[in-house]
Structure 1
């Protein structure tokens, strides 16, 4: 019975890691910095709209925020696997080594899952003001394209094609 507890913990940890690749606020597969997606807090809020023209579009990588679930899940899984090795002091050392390796692996996995492709879009507003907006690459914009720039009261902005 004691040997099944570490295996159960390992299975739970692996299941937790699988959840790291999606953003629960935006739905599965929706980028966190989506130009089209909204969180529940962003929905039904007033945004100012200005029109402009795209001057430049550069690909960027947007690093997401780590929740720590990957590190915790990895440590649990690694420790559970390490606990299966040997007995006595050797088992304790294997458990610690497995937990440390799992912690680092889980942290790396979560970091990789949290990254998304983005765009740095430079827009010249009709007012003459220049803006640089970083957003997910879920909306393709081209140089010379007319866009609407939506800005909320906190200063977060997104550029969307007109029409």
Structure 2
């Protein structure tokens, strides 16, 4: 009988220690800050944009930037045009009808507030590992298997040229 009480007391103590350790662990791995940032970025991306001209006609397609552009250099512009333009547009505004149909909308790279709030490492991580890796939309595909780190760096430089 005494052994049972001793074992019960020891097992209760062990369970209490495990549970207290879990409490400190959950504080360390709290997903709420990433969820709040995702909601903020989703709200910014879903702002209304005009996809038609004032007279109701469809706007002419935007010209793709030339590879001799400023900032990102030739390789950055070419890779951006190949991988990023379908969703973010050549001018970085994500204002095409295709982008408007996406939910959430792709990032508008011309947003000065966003440009100031994010560093190059985060942009590179999103390009390399996809949006879900940083709590953003999973519709932003990971390009790390296709693009080298140097190419991603050049794309980030090109994205920075859109700042208005």
Shorter-normalised TM range: under 0.3
* TM-score with structure 2 setting the length: 0.23
More helix by share: 2
Kindly indicate whether structure 1 or structure 2 has the higher relative contact order, using CA contacts under 8 Å at least 6 residues apart.
1
* TM-score with structure 1 setting the length: 0.23
More strand by share: 1
